[in-house]
Structure 1
């Protein structure tokens, strides 16, 4: 089912409601940026005019603003040389896979995807050559804020035992250029904080253990760090990203690291800007990413929009936008939590949201979430994202039988409560029809 299917109430959509889009702030920032006939950096190679081709890495002054912002939030030591600007997280992922993996030659032996997973990520991996059994699901362990390390270790041991894995990567190295390429044997995709779809957050112990495994087996961990800033409790420090932990414990200047933070401003300012960034432990990997064919041909892919966001960071409006989103989403999350407790079967499993967009709800044994979802859509025009949407292709877990993902980013509080109330009514009808305990 499409998240854009016509509906009275749509819990599938994972983007802000229109009233939350910062029209006035973006108009203000664009005016500040483009009104002057000249800016101090217009002729600087590392910055350039907002309306011309950008530098390969992206404007230095924008990277500086992002680092200053991140260093305050995460208490990290980000450096502009460690950043590569992108046109958002999705294009960032594909560029990462094209630049750092070789699935079609089997140099990169396998991709591991934390499951349940973001429902459109499979296509990025398939576009990069990870088809025909090249995707392995690794389950979340939500009660432990961790993942199934036992299965991951077994799979890594198995793939290491294979003898038909080539070491040749000449097919992706332009010998006319001095810069070589780092290609990884394995790659992992995860959303470490307020995950899509589950809302789970990795513990620091889990992050450290993942980094240790990645170093041992030459694996790149791609972290979709897109929701972590949307932490509802301002009194709690936002946990460090994997890339920060990787940097703190890797002192080899020649290393390319084993983590990459794939971040975006889509979730915290506006998705239509199509602007994000990638952060590594040092300049080595992001320099490789910025020197891909598309970048050296056209420059950074979001030159104008990157500078609009840079201006929002500079004039203070970005933090105001983010704080407003956190306040709105926190209230919506509380409404959702109260409604689930009030209207759904008593043994329904869910976690109270602490940040981000999503929560994962599992109905009690005997309830068929997929059938109930269809009944809800047909009778009340309420759409939900069934768990079957969040499988890893070729390594499924049957998430759709009892589970659904709910999003609070698009719906107002009244619609959230009404939608859950109607879902509860359908659950009651289903329970009566199938002789289940209410």
Structure 2
């Protein structure tokens, strides 16, 4: 059992909604609306199909159209003349962000032969993403790239690494490697990238950072130069707590938007893929999300993976339930309720950190997403304090050691802790931080910290 699932009086590790926030009634109503009729207009349409049969490979067209309308016109509010706007052919529906990452890696990289030379992962990172990269053949082929704060990442270090890798491989002939990933029974050939970079660009897990437009544009330039795919986990960007919670927030443009609006080649696969999900916006148990690329080419490749073509889109029923919720407005109300609750918790966390933790503790306000990133003053040991807090009071923290890139660590466990606001109520957050403060005081006395 992972630490996030261990029973505890207060568990700050859990990164999913409180049970009371899960919209069971709204989902049941949408399912009833979808399934009660004997027939639907799209049941015999091969691009959509009956909700209880195998879906089309790309997922139901009407659901993709509904998602595009929500993203273009209600969330991002992209001008009708802007080339950044999403189209249904840019989307491939899938079973959520976690499966989305692995399918992207399996279908667009070739690590075990060396054709895809290296993976880069922004650090600190989502603690379970390492498993996906290892499963896809990137064991010992993953490099951490640091966040620099203020919406920046260490692009200089990234480019130095890329230049060095290019020198190491300049005499290697790997043209035959692609034969291993292309299916001789299919006419189309897969696009395989030389490099891949993983990031959570808005309200990042665990740091809460949001990359600036300048950072995003510069990273796209580097990706184009070195044949690198930017795999962006766009899972938290609509959970904004500073904008009006009564209407959809307007997130910063995604990598895929910026790549699309500046790419002049209509046949391009692009250098970005948006890996998005409704797990954070409605309910994680739905297991429904989507890939988005700048044209139809890359998402079409993803839809043609072996498992997908065998059974069709993996979330046919759930995708249509979400589609109904987007159409009837219940998804908007669910999202507004989540943002209202999380905003209250974010403010309570900020005040509790100021009130109870040692002077000099650092934490930026939680402006969106699930997490606050707390940095204790020098001399404090976040990992030891977390262990003592769990042992004495049954309070579980996620110390920074959980958010390392495997094989390229930064010792985040020394002073850093990730705090989740998604699962605990305000009173639990305040009580948990107060107990954490008690343990910090005891640690300071034991270690002569002043």
Indicate whether the TM-score tops 0.5: yes
Q: Say whether residues 1:106 and 2:107 are aligned partners.
A: no
Q: Say whether residues 1:137 and 2:137 are aligned partners.
A: no
1:178-219 CA distances to partner (integer Å, 9 max, x unpaired)? 111000000000000000011100011000000000000000
Q: State the aligned residue count.
A: 435
Q: How far apart are 1:165 and its partner, in Å?
A: 5.8
Aligned to 2:58: 57
Q: How far apart are 1:234 and its partner, in Å?
A: 2.2
Aligned to 1:3: 4
Aligned to 1:267: 280
Give the whole-Å Cα distance in 1 for the aligned partners of 2:175 and 2:142: 20
TM-score by length of 1: 0.98
Contact 1:92 1:262 in 2 (8 A): yes
Aligned to 1:148: 154
Give the whole-Å Cα distance in 2 for the aligned partners of 1:326 and 1:313: 17
Q: Which moved more, 1:275-284 or 1:234-243?
A: 234-243
Aligned to 1:302: 315
Q: Say whether residues 1:82 and 2:90 are aligned partners.
A: yes
Q: 1:8-407 counterparts in 2 under 5 A?
A: 8-72=9-73, 73-76=75-78, 77-131=85-139, 133-142=140-149, 144-163=150-169, 164=172, 166-168=174-176, 169-235=178-244, 237-407=250-420
What's the C-alpha RMSD, in Å, of the aligned pairs? 0.9
SS of equivalent residue, structure 1 residue 261: strand
Aligned to 1:408: 421
Contact 2:238 2:250 in 1 (8 A): no
Give the whole-Å Cα distance in 1 for the aligned partners of 2:44 and 2:133: 38
Which stretches of structure 1, 4 residues or more, deviate above 4 A after TM superposition? Answer: none
Give the whole-Å Cα distance in 2 for the aligned partners of 1:81 and 1:237: 23
Give the whole-Å Cα distance in 2 for the aligned partners of 1:153 and 1:349: 30
Q: Which runs of 5+ in 2 are unaligned?
A: 79-84
Contact 2:267 2:295 in 1 (8 A): no
TM-score by length of 2: 0.96
Q: How far apart are 1:151 and its partner, in Å?
A: 1.0
SS of equivalent residue, structure 1 residue 325: helix
Q: Which runs of 5+ in 1 are unaligned?
A: none
Aligned to 2:82: none
Label 1:165 to 1:349 Cα distance change in 2 as closer, same or farther (>3 A): farther
Q: How far apart are 1:75 and its partner, in Å?
A: 2.5
Q: How far apart are 1:12 and its partner, in Å?
A: 0.1
